Structure 1
């Protein structure tokens, strides 16, 4: 089982008891405002998402980690790697992304988890390049991307919604520098 420990977090595969807290995160309009078309997701959709995330682990050898606070055992959300099939112009690519519940914002958890996941991607999984995608205006996520050492690679639009997007990137040589 793939797990990563950081000073405050456990990044791990998904468990059955993660459904309720992740569904609560997905039902929060403030959390979802920058995801897809901004729609919240119910428990059924969240269960489908978790199943798909676990399948990606089995198929790709990477996926989205459940982020658990070591101090309390609470599920804070997710961070991890996925193939951004919704944006064909960047393929082939692997994206690093995150989604945390609002109680966990502003405490450095996203940066801490994403840094550990980026190291996992480039050193453990042997990826040569990782991207991250944010809707224009999602300054908090873009700040995390810059903290990871990523640079703005391109500006584009979402092929379905038409929302403007920023694509950040980092390759192995930049990471090692």
Structure 2
């Protein structure tokens, strides 16, 4: 069986393996990676997140794909889909997100990977729409959203972030299947 569920020119997308735990734990302790999250992640919190990701895959058939550099086979983080569990006017929904090791930033990998995931998600899972959101300060992620053809549809206060936190205000982006078709014709 092929290791990857799908690939992009430089990335492979797969299910999580035990060997991903240590590098993902290190990412959760990297202040640059976690800059727009309320806190760094402990090893226990990282293990719990991996378990939630694996449960999401079993229940939905898709999730946050463990992502490797094809040239080396090295795990560099995740790109993929989740289902936000908090109540807002746009949930339930399918969210696309990414978290990559800071060592690979600035190479266009998040954009490349997110595009591949959008195409895979719309083709295989027929999502009506896909959303993405981040703290308003996270301009790097917001630029990825824009580069993959998403459109800003609002701002919201993230209900799981403390009201007194500078990270509570989030931008909200959305893309539909017809948006993807339009982009392919440009």
TM-score between both structures, scaled by the size of structure 1: 0.94
Are 1:164 and 2:166 counterparts? no
Are 1:82 and 2:87 counterparts? no
Residue in 2 that maps onto 1:152: 152
| Deviation, structure 1 residue 87 | 4.7
> Unpaired runs of 5+ in structure 1?
none
Between the aligned partners of 1:147 and 1:133, the Cα distance in structure 2 is: 14
Are 1:29 and 2:34 counterparts? no
> What is the aligned-residue RMSD (CA, Å)?
1.3
- Checking the alignment, whether the CA contact within 8 Å between 1:87 and 1:158 is kept in structure 2 is no
Per-residue CA distance 1:97-147 (angstroms, 9 max, x = gap) = 000111011011101111111111111111010000110010100010001
Between the aligned partners of 1:87 and 1:165, the Cα distance in structure 2 is: 14
Q: How many residue pairs were aligned? A: 175
Counterparts of 1:74-153 in structure 2, within 5 Å, are 74-153=74-153
Between the aligned partners of 2:113 and 2:100, the Cα distance in structure 1 is: 11
Secondary structure of 2:116's counterpart equals helix
Per-residue CA distance 1:25-69 (angstroms, 9 max, x = gap) = 11111111113x1x1112222111111101101101110001101
TM-score between both structures, scaled by the size of structure 2: 0.90
> Unpaired runs of 5+ in structure 2?
none
Between the aligned partners of 2:19 and 2:149, the Cα distance in structure 1 is: 34
For residues 68 and 131 of structure 1, do their structure 2 counterparts lie closer, same or farther at Cα, with a shift above 3 Å needed?
Answer: same
Between the aligned partners of 2:73 and 2:113, the Cα distance in structure 1 is: 15
Between the aligned partners of 1:4 and 1:130, the Cα distance in structure 2 is: 19
| Deviation, structure 1 residue 3 | 1.1
Secondary structure of 2:33's counterpart equals helix
